[in-house]
Amino acid sequence: MASMNMIQALNSAMDIMLGKDPSVVLMGEDVGYFGGVFRATEGLQRKYGEHRVIDTPIAEGGIVATAIGMSINGLRPVAEIQFADYIYPGFDQIVSELARIRYRSAGDFFAPVTIRTPCGGGIRGGQTHSQSPEGIFTHVSGIKVVMPSNPFDAKGLLITCIEDDDPVVFFEPKRLYNGPFDGDPNKPAVPWSAHAKGQVDDGYYKVPLGKADIVRAGAAVTIITYGTMVHVAAAAAAAMNVDAEIIDLRSLVPLDVDTICTSVRKTGRCVVAHEATRFSGFGAEILSIIQEECFWNLEAPIVRVTGWDTPYPHAFEWEYFPGQARVRAALKTVLEPA
């Protein structure tokens, strides 16, 4: 075991997979010599060569499309899109191509591409470095969608994704790269070394897709969340002294419906929290599933905690971000006796 932040854990996952499987290649803008703008691929080109850790032109559509082509020819590309906000030039290749190659060729071709991309706000990145577009990709059949909330899961999930024969968009909440973040920007930053999930196995291990993590067991209310909001929700529940069961989904597609429903049947109350915008967000899907599966177990309407339905505003980052106050208000609402 070693103490790692999320960047180091992701780097370790890619290092191990490059070493283990000669078909794995990394590609993206600034990922090679420079080691990535967030340093996720630091040292890997030096170790594995320019032909396996490949700098690319600034063309997300080209990156995704050539990754597809490489995967069809037997490679297992891990493509970095520098910010999730910049993924859209690659959107057509992801939605119309990557997602459907297995389906349209009746399984004769498949495209094991992993697209890594930093997402989320809280770094004063304004509207072009802060978005959480995961919900858009969950709406596309044929793409797996993953978002870890800590270094241990990040490494194990990324290894699983690289080995997966289906395409994955792997979202990395960049505010969590260096430490867990509870939503309070005025508190001193806490490093991952002080967190249990910052202790990461040096070697190869996998965290399965479609298996949520019960971060905290509780009886009063279920909080279903993922990414940065796992830490915000936990802090808000702790501050209110609420016996919350906190579920970190880790993978949105495939989704661990059983863990969600088992918990909601037990608590009868539920808050769904994500940083992404609200309207047609992934939270709406969770609410529908719970309504379909657990309606008679509910003691109160489910409440969503989300970013507002505006672009991410530079100057109002903390008014926009769904911080602890928004989670506490939601908990208060769902915990009110009927």
The residues assigned a catalytic role are 129
- Per CB under 8 A, the list member of 19, 20, 34, 239 interacting with another protein is 34
Question: Taking CB under 8 A as the rule, which mask of x and - marks residues 173-192 in contact with another protein?
Answer: --------------------
Give least dist CB 97 to another protein, A. Answer: 14
Q: Please identify which residue in 19, 22, 191, 301 interacts with another protein, judged by CB under 8 A.
A: 22
Q: Please, which residue, 108 or 319, has the CB nearer to another protein? A: 319
Q: Is the peptide bond before 254 cis (omega within 30 degrees of 0)?
A: yes
Q: Is residue 33 a contact residue for another protein (CB under 8 A)?
A: yes
Contacting residue, 17, 48, 132, 207, with another protein by CB under 8 A: 48
Q: Which of 286, 282, 274 is nearest to 228 (CA)?
A: 274
Helices (H), the chain: 6-20, 44-48, 60-72, 91-92, 101-104, 134-138, 151-163, 229-240, 257-267, 282-294, 317-320, 324-335
Q: Which of 106, 196, 315, 338 binds another protein (CB under 8 A)?
A: 315
> How many binding residues for another protein (CB under 8 A)?
47
Q: Which is nearer to another protein, 146 or 242 (CB)?
A: 242
Among 2, 20, 43, 49, binds another protein (CB under 8 A): 49
Between residue 82 and residue 141, which ones bind another protein under the rule CB under 8 A? Answer: 85-86, 88-89, 124-129
Of 1, 51, 186, 189, the one binding another protein by CB under 8 A: 51
Q: Are 3 and 194 in contact (CB under 8 A)?
A: no
Return the closest-CA partner of residue 27 out of 19, 38, 16, 36.
36
Min CB(121)–another protein separation in Å: 12
Round to whole Å and give the CA distance between 338 and 326.
21
* H-run or E-run covering 214: strand 213-216
Stretch that binds another protein, among 80-88, 177-185, 222-230, 250-258 (CB under 8 A): 80-88
What's 2-18 look like in SS3?
EECCHHHHHHHHHHHHH
Nearest approach, Cβ of residue 81 and another protein (Å): 12
Q: ∠ CA(15), CA(111), CA(211), 5° rounding?
A: 65
Taking the complex as a whole, the smallest distance from the CB of residue 49 to another protein amounts, in Å, to: 4
Query: 35 and 43 in contact (C-beta within 8 Å)?
Result: yes
Nearest to 183 by CA among 222, 225, 235: 235
Instruction: Note whether 57 binds another protein by CB under 8 A.
Output: yes
Stretch of residues binding another protein (CB under 8 A), selected from 59-67, 166-174, 201-209, 223-231: 59-67
Q: Give 286's Cβ-side CA count (13 Å radius).
A: 32
- Percent helix, percent strand, percent coil in the chain, to nearest 5: 40, 20, 40
Q: Which residues bind another protein (CB under 8 A)?
A: 22-23, 29-30, 33-35, 37, 48-52, 54-62, 85-86, 88-89, 124-129, 278-279, 308-311, 313-316, 319-320, 325-326, 329
